[in-house]
Amino acid sequence: MADTLERVKKIIVERLDVDEAEVTLEASIKEDLGADSLDVVDLIMELEDEFELEIGDDEAAKISTVGDIVEYINKHN
Amino acid sequence: MLNGKTAVVTGGSRGIGRAIAITLAEAGADIVIFYAGNHTAAEETIQSVRETGRQGLALKVDVSDKEQVDAALKEVVSTFGRVDILVNNAGITRDNLLMRMKEDEWDQVIATNLKGAFLCTKAVIRPMLKQKGGRIINISSVVGVAGNPGQANYVAAKAGLIGLTKTTAKELASRGITVNAIAPGFIETDMTSVLDEALKEQMRSEIPLGYYGTPQDIAEAVKFLASDSGRYITGQTIHVDGGMVMN
């Protein structure tokens, strides 16, 4: 879990140009971290590459917080 | 000019699509054409592509079928490693006066000409986002802007492509992907050769330049938009029609 969070954090910090301290499990990717819809698509693609999994459009639509991402990855990896 | 790029041209076996495929190959791009059913024509196009020294691949794809489109794009990316240029050119006609037009004639034309562009565009966005750039060029028509009796289905699809172009351009601009439409006028192809002489003559009289266009005229505009020369143009409809429509 911790490891997943660290890897996700690193990608989010690079991708969205935010401070690492802002990337908490509760942080909303759009509202708190300032991502627009296309940023989210980009982010999901990068996560797919990093964790070697596929996140379908329907599942991606359900992801709103950093915690959602970590949970999804841990469940499917 | 386009060395190292990979271009996908739908409806690439004949007519305008064939000219686009060969012209982009001459400019240096490797070419994939999607074709509906004319295997011989598709092979001829690919043969011409290979004669330019570029790689060519013909895939039989029904562009209105999501599974076929997704599978074909996957094959393109696995073969060439990338896709830089998409030309949505596949189009059919089922002409009829609106009051006689069958639902089936409407559905078929919208499925190939409009939904096909939607599905192909959706399938290339992911690789283009990863590459941080791309060119999408939709082949519309002068009738999509001006209207044409007997072609309500075709005109609706071609006008729809212009709306699709503008919206996709706005959605993807921040990622370096440009999206434009080209609106050909009267171009001499198999599609227009079936029209009767009187109608052709009447159409010619409406062209300010006074002569029909060729598939090559369209291919040149596509090449321009696909190259670095066209990098600052997005969301536009370029009229290549001898002056038939002037905005």
Report chain B's mean pLDDT, rounded to a whole number: 96
Give the mean model confidence (pLDDT) for residues B2-22. Answer: 97
Domain ranges of chain A: 2-76
Sign, CA torsion B21/B25/B29/B33: positive
More confident residue, B69 or B130: B69
pLDDT of residue B202 exceeding 90, the answer is no
B51-74 average pLDDT score: 98
pLDDT value of residue B190:
78
Residue B204, domain member (yes or no): yes
Residue B165 falls within a domain, yes or no?
A: yes
Q: Which CATH superfamily is domain A2-76 in?
A: ACP-like (1.10.1200.10)
Q: Does B246 map to a domain?
A: no
- Confidence class for position B198, pLDDT limits 50, 70, 90: confident
- B130 contacts chain A (CB < 8 A): yes
Residues of B in contact with A38 (CB under 8 A): 171-172, 174-175
Residue B40 has pLDDT above 80, yes or no: yes
Q: How many domains does chain B have?
A: 1
Chain A contact for B174, CB < 8 A?
yes
Is residue B102 one of the residues assigned to a domain?
yes
* Cβ-defined contact of B175 to A45 (cutoff 8 Å): no
- Judged by CB atoms closer than 8 Å, whether chains meet at B171 and A38 is answered as yes
B244 lies in some domain: no
What is the SS3 string spanning chain B? Answer: CCCCCEEEEECCCCHHHHHHHHHHHHCCCEEEEEECCCHHHHHHHHHHHHHCCCCEEEEECCCCCHHHHHHHHHHHHHHHCCCCEEEECCCCCCCECHHHCCHHHHHHHHHHHHHHHHHHHHHHHHHHHHHCCEEEEEECCHHHHHCCCCEHHHHHHHHHHHHHHHHHHHHHHHHCEEEEEEEECCECCHHHHCCCHHHHHHHHHCCCCCCCECHHHHHHHHHHHHCHHHCCCCCCEEEECCCCCCC
Mean pLDDT of B57-75: 98
Q: What is the CATH number of the domain that holds B192?
A: 3.40.50.720
- Residue A2, pLDDT > 70, answer no
A21-35 average pLDDT score: 93
Mean pLDDT in residue range B54-75: 98
- Smallest CA–CA separation between B67 and chain A, in Å? 15
Kindly determine whether residue A38 and residue B130, on different chains, have CB atoms separated by under 8 Å. Answer: no
Q: Which domain holds residue B154?
A: 6-239
